[in-house]
């Protein structure tokens, strides 16, 4: 069955430091992969998505993600974190109409 | 541009009371519509999705039901709420190009507390 794992429940980084959020998926075919961000009490905002082609995907707010088929991973990165990046981040894989979400990683940014 | 609305934003209801949450989409036609529930520490769980008026698919057996009376309106209901129905409810829409990668766009959510 398809699944998404985000192994880090909480991550804390200092402002200006680099960030990597991990996402591993289980899917039999070529996956469609997404990263969303959720601020407290808000809906989800799409950061970026991967369908095919270039395995390094650029998104909004300076985020990027790299699809690695050999590792079944789609990790999210940002070279320099801003305090406003504090939020919860969700990775998702699509199966037909259905998104399968990971349990999320909550990011805390220290000033 | 497309926008998605949910109301109410916050709701506190007693156990056993009915529920009706509404979601509407503007700026698009014939969208796919989705209801998710987000419980603390458990990510998002797909509850229902709809590919057209009157067409509802349920993902998990539960105390809730969904309806789509109009093309861009999606309603989540319950006849009698349970404590376990508490959570953050998100509505989403996507296009219908038929590709598995149709991006889903989320509404602002409704925080439901059942006491």
Say if the Cβ atoms of B49 and A34 lie within 8 Å: no
pLDDT (average), residues A19-26: 96
CA nearest B44 in A: which residue? A101
| Percentage, residues of chain B above pLDDT 90 | 73
CA nearest B42 in A: which residue? A103
- Taking the CA atoms of chain B, what radius of gyration do you get in angstroms? 14
Question: How far is it, in rounded angstroms, from Cα B67 to Cα A99?
Answer: 20
Lowest-pLDDT choice from A6-20, A47-61, A73-87, B10-24: A47-61
Mean pLDDT of all residues belonging to chain B: 91
Cβ–Cβ contact B31 with A under 8 A: no
pLDDT (average), residues B41-62: 87
User: Is B15's pLDDT higher than 70?
Assistant: yes
Q: What is the pLDDT of residue A34?
A: 94
pLDDT digits (tens, 9 = 90+) for A48-77: 999 888 889 999 999 999 999 999 999 999
Q: What is the pLDDT of residue B41?
A: 67
pLDDT digits (tens, 9 = 90+) for B53-86: 999 999 887 889 999 999 999 999 999 999 999 9
| Shortest CA gap A49–chain B (Å) | 8
Q: Which residues contact A70 (CB under 8 A, 6 or more apart)?
A: none
Cβ–Cβ contact B32 with A under 8 A: yes
A-B contacts (CB, under 8 Å): 53
Say if the Cβ atoms of A101 and B106 lie within 8 Å: no
Q: What is the pLDDT of residue A3?
A: 87
User: Is B52's pLDDT higher than 60?
Assistant: yes
| Shortest CA gap B17–chain A (Å) | 24
Mean pLDDT of all residues belonging to chain A: 92
Say if the Cβ atoms of B108 and A43 lie within 8 Å: yes
Question: How far is it, in rounded angstroms, from Cα A54 to Cα A102?
Answer: 23
| Percentage, residues of chain A above pLDDT 90 | 74
| Percentage, residues of chain B above pLDDT 70 | 95
Q: Which residue has the higher pLDDT, A98 or B87?
A: B87
Report residue B65 as tokens: 């039901």
User: Is B98's pLDDT higher than 60?
Assistant: no
Say if the Cβ atoms of B41 and A9 lie within 8 Å: yes
Q: What is the pLDDT of residue B13?
A: 97
CA nearest A91 in B: which residue? B43
């Amino acid at each position: 069955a398809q699944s998404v794992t985000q192994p880090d429940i909480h991550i804390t980084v200092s402002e200006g430091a680099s960030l990597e959020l991990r996402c591993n998926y289980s899917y039999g075919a070529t996956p469609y992969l997404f990263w969303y961000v959720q601020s407290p009490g808000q809906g989800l905002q799409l950061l970026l998505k991967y369908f095919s082609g270039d395995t390094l995907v650029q998104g909004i707010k300076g985020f990027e993600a790299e699809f690695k088929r050999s590792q079944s991973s789609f990790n999210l990165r940002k070279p320099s974190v801003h305090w406003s990046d504090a939020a919860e981040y969700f990775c998702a894989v699509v199966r037909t109409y259905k998104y399968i979400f990971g349990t999320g990683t909550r990011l805390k940014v220290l000033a | 541009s497309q926008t998605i609305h949910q109301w109410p934003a916050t709701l506190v209801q007693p156990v056993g009371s009915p529920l009706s949450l509404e979601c509407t989409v503007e700026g698009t036609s014939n969208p796919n519509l989705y209801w998710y529930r987000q419980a603390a520490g458990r990510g998002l769980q797909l509850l229902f999705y709809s590919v057209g008026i009157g067409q509802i698919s349920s993902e998990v057996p539960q105390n809730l039901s969904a309806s789509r009376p109009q093309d861009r309106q999606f309603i989540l209901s319950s006849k009698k709420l349970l404590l376990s129905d508490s959570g953050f409810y998100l509505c989403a829409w996507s296009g219908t190009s038929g590709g598995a990668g149709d991006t889903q766009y989320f509404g602002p959510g409704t925080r439901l507390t059942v006491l």
